[in-house]
Structure 1
Amino acid sequence: MAAHLVWAEQRGVDGRPGPGVRVFRLGAAVAVASPGLSRRDRVVVAGEADDVVPLVRDVLAEVGPSYRPFGEARLIEAVVAGVPGLVPLAPFLWMETGFPAAEPSPGPDVRWLDRADEREACALFDLSFPHSHAQPGRVGVRRWAGVRDAGGGLVAVAADAWSGGGCGLLGGVVVHPGARGRGLGAAVSRFVVEALVRDYGRAALVVDADNAPAIAAYERIGMRGALFGAAAVSRPT
């Protein structure tokens, strides 16, 4: 099964889909309705457009307008064209790997953070990434890795967030503005990706399609991506 479908199922240690997750099928199409997945209710889809479009139409009628279709760009384009009331959102890349690139030597000292460290990380998000879905203390964000500078200050972090059996997700990658250009974002990302592959078999992430520097950094640690899209039910004005 495609990694984004596996991720959406949020399977626990018992192998069952996460709380509230529902799986729908029609012909060659699969849709996973997953509530609160990376802070959004999502309908994650894969398959042939001729089946995906009517399936999404039926699923949205059942689960409600808070759910957002999510999948390969070509499918979401077809869904927006074929399901009344949907509007497209900004495109992004879904990137994944089962074999992260080897870490260069020597690298920075990346470690898992404790709760006190995580509270300290909040300042990084306030400064550099206030709109990140993955932030310390949020539901679904399991653990954080980080790097400190010579003075002991936390300068880069990344999270294991909304991971499920078969696919872990990297999120919340942020570097202090004064520490950029030193490969710290790639270092914390690689550290988390390696742990996700060990624990879940695959690692994935979502990155804006126009964020070329971040995409290049993720490619250097072994991630490979495809253009994805999402849509939302339009609201009356």
Structure 2
Amino acid sequence: MTVRISPDPAVRPDGQVGQDGRVREIADLEELVELSGDDLLCRWAAQGLDGRSRGWATDDGAGIAIATPALATKDRIAVHGSLAGAASLLPLVMAEVGDSFRPFGERRLIRGLSDMVELDDARGLRVAGEFGWMDRADPLDDEVSDAHWLHPEDDAAIDELIAAGNPDSYAKPGDSAVERWAGIRDDHDRLIAVAALAWSAPDIGFIAGVTVHPDVRGNGLSERVCRLIAGESLRERGAVGLMVDEPNPAAVRTYRKLGFDYRELAAAELA
């Protein structure tokens, strides 16, 4: 596959790009997973390399970039690898996919890229936000969640709960990226906690829209509703992940109880 990064004159017919031909597009998911060291964040960003997402790597595998539009509502470029490798790759990828895409990845890597990357038009990058990524790839214990799967007729109640407890949620009822909602009701049949399975890849589920009604926070409802989604994702896809805002130590503690590992991430934008 030829990579077209204009106005770089050194596009080569073998799919390599750049003055020294060090960059190539990756069309095979297995190769991308291998180059990333089976990194779950990269697997999620790749979305199965389904035609919407695209991946690139330096020839030595020191840098990887995966561009996916509308991933958790934003056009994103996941970057992975060494600072030198990512820095040589990222400007070419950004020129290819356009200004709407924001690089994100390990916090130290994004900070380093923000300090050293300059695009052809002399613009640079700056850190736009810092957050966390949490994931798990081994089965959950046998504890059963009291959450249940919701149905389209529950959308109005989900909307009402999100408006009350998490109005900035990326996941909303009716969004085509949302596969299913899980929820918990109280003794009066009132919906008091929800979470969505959304923006998932074929090989990793993604949890979004975790919301608990303000009146009942602190009772472990987030863990219980996420347990249902995490368990299904692990059984059917083999892995599960989510993003967590910072600072939000309570959320991190909740997901650690489910056995999720935590990583510091950041996103960058054009300065």
TM-score, length basis structure 1: 0.91
* Higher RCO by CA contacts (8 Å cutoff, separation 6 or greater): 1
Give yes or no for the alignment of 1:61 onto 2:98. Answer: no
What are the residue-to-residue correspondences of 1:19-98 with 2, within 5 Å? Answer: 19-26=51-58, 27=60, 28-84=62-118, 85-98=124-137
CA contact (8 A) 1:88 1:231 kept: yes
Give, in whole Å, the separation in 1 of the partners of 2:232 and 2:165: 25
Give, in whole Å, the separation in 2 of the partners of 1:174 and 1:100: 24
For the residue of structure 2 that corresponds to 1:150, the secondary structure is coil
After the TM superposition, list the runs of 4 or more consecutive aligned residues in structure 1 that deviate by more than 6 angstroms: none
Structure 1 residue 136, shift from structure 2 partner: 1.2
Structure 1 residue 95, shift from structure 2 partner: 0.4
CA contact (8 A) 1:42 1:70 kept: yes
Give, in whole Å, the separation in 2 of the partners of 1:199 and 1:89: 34
Q: 1:116 aligns with which of 144, 153, 165?
A: 153
Q: Which ranges of structure 1 fall in alignment gaps of 5 or more residues? A: 12-16
Paired residue for 1:173? 210
CA contact (8 A) 1:100 1:222 kept: no
What are the residue-to-residue correspondences of 1:107-146 with 2, within 5 Å? Answer: 109-146=146-183
Give, in whole Å, the separation in 2 of the partners of 1:165 and 1:31: 19
Return closer, same or farther for 1:100/1:90 CA change in 2, 3 Å cut-off. Answer: farther
What are the residue-to-residue correspondences of 1:154-169 with 2, within 5 Å? Answer: 154-169=191-206
In our comparison, the structure showing a higher alpha carbon Rg is: 2
Identity %: 37
Return closer, same or farther for 1:190/1:223 CA change in 2, 3 Å cut-off. Answer: same
For the residue of structure 2 that corresponds to 1:90, the secondary structure is strand
CA contact (8 A) 2:110 2:268 kept: yes
CA contact (8 A) 1:134 1:141 kept: yes
Give yes or no for the alignment of 1:217 onto 2:249. Answer: no
Structure 1 residue 90, shift from structure 2 partner: 2.1
Give, in whole Å, the separation in 1 of the partners of 2:194 and 2:76: 26
Paired residue type of 1:131: D
Paired residue type of 1:98: A
Structure 1 residue 223, shift from structure 2 partner: 0.7
Paired residue for 1:147? 184
Structure 1 residue 20, shift from structure 2 partner: 2.1
CA contact (8 A) 1:100 1:190 kept: no
CA contact (8 A) 2:138 2:238 kept: no
Return closer, same or farther for 1:100/1:216 CA change in 2, 3 Å cut-off. Answer: farther
Q: Which ranges of structure 2 fall in alignment gaps of 5 or more residues? A: 1-37, 119-123
Residues 126-163 of structure 1: CA distance to partner in whole angstroms, max 9, x if unpaired?
11111111121123111100000000010000110100
Return closer, same or farther for 1:208/1:103 CA change in 2, 3 Å cut-off. Answer: farther
